[in-house]
Amino acid sequence: MNAGSHLVAILVYDGVTLLDIAGPAEVFKEANRFGADYQIVLLSPTGADVTSNLGVRMAVDGAVSAEAAFDTLLVAGSDHYPRTQVPADLADAARIPAAVAGRVASICTGAFVLAAAGILDGKRATTHWRVAHELAARYPTCRVEADAIYVRDGTTYTSAGVTAGIDLALALVEEDHGPDLTRDVARALVVYMQRAGGQSQFSAPLQGPPPRSPALRRITDAVTADPRGDHSLGGLAQHLNVSTRHLTRLFHDELSTTPARYVESIRFDMARALLDQGHTATQAASLAGFPSYESMRRVFARKLSISPAAYQRRFSTTRRTHAG
C-alpha cells in the first residue's frame, strides 16, 4: 500500500451478483485515472475462490480477517438471500471486518447480509425495491427507505438494486475527493453523477394483490379497462349502487388508499407505458385519462420527482409508436 492509498475490500461469496462487484469497482478504477488511489481487494469468508451468479469463477485475494482494517468495506448482493436466511458464516464474514472498517456499504441485496450481521440495527437503510418489504419484515429494527437510491446513516451506507451500486460508489468518491473529480468519473463512465428521483421510477406498475371483494374487483377492472372514463367518486359509487362512504371504506380496508388515488395510480401507470412506447407527453396525458398535461406532470413530480419528459428521455423505447 502506498501512503494515501484507500483500501476497498469487497466481500464476495458463491452466487454473488457480478455487477454488484464490477460496477463499484469500475468507479474506483476510473477515479484512479483522475488522481485517486483506491486499492481493491476481493475477500471471501474462507479465502476460497467463488462463483458468481453468472457462473464466472473469481479468484479472491484472501479470507476475512479481524486484523486487516479497510477504509471501505463493500458487501455485494445475491439473489439467494432475499429468498433464504443469510448463513451465519457469511454474516460473521461481514461483521468481523465491519468492526474495524472506516465505513461499511452494501450493494443491492447485500443489505440482507449487513442486517443479518446486526450492522443495520436501528439504522436507516435501503435495498432493491422488489425486496424492500422483506428486509423491513425480517429485520424490524432497521428503518427501510424503499424508494431511496442509496442511504447513508453515519458510516453505514446501503444502496438499491444493481446499478445503484454505481451511484453509491460515486457518492463515496465524492466524499473522498470532492465533486470535481467525481464529475470527471461520471462523465467518463457516461452515468449521472446524481440521479434524480427514487427507485419507484424503475419499479413495475400496479404492484400488489387484487382486491378480495368482488364488488371492488369490478371497480378496479373497470378503471383499468378504461382509464379515460368517468371515475369520479360519485360515478364509481353509482356503478356499484353503493354510497360514496361505503366505497371509500372498501378502498381503505382492502387497498389502503382512496378511490381517487387508485384511479390516479392507474392513469399514472398507463401514462408511463405510453411514454415508454414513444407517445408525446400530451398524448400520454390524454390517452391515460388525465384532465390535462399539467395534472399528469404534478403526479409524476410527486411520485418520481421527475417530469414526464425527463422520464421519457431515460426510459422510453427508441421506436416511436405510430397510429395505424
Which cell numbers hold the place of 123?
439504522
Q: Give Rg (Cα) of the chain.
A: 23
Q: Is 108 a catalytic residue?
A: yes
Q: Strand 150-153 relative to strand 103-106: parallel, antiparallel, unpaired?
A: unpaired
Which cell numbers hold the place of 21?
462487484
* Cβ-proximal residues to 181 (8 Å cutoff; 6+ apart), any chain: 31, 34, 35, 36, 173, 174
Report d(CA 72, CA 98) in Å as an integer: 9
Of 72, 44, 70, the C-alpha closest to 57 is 44
Report d(CA 127, CA 147) in Å as an integer: 9
Report d(CA 269, CA 66) in Å as an integer: 49
Report d(CA 112, CA 142) in Å as an integer: 11
Task: Give bridge partners of residue 152 from the DSSP assignment.
Answer: 157
Evaluate whether 128 touches 108 at the Cβ level (below 8 Å).
yes
First to last CA, the chain: 65
Residue of 101, 108, 162, 173 with catalytic role = 108
Catalytic residues: 108
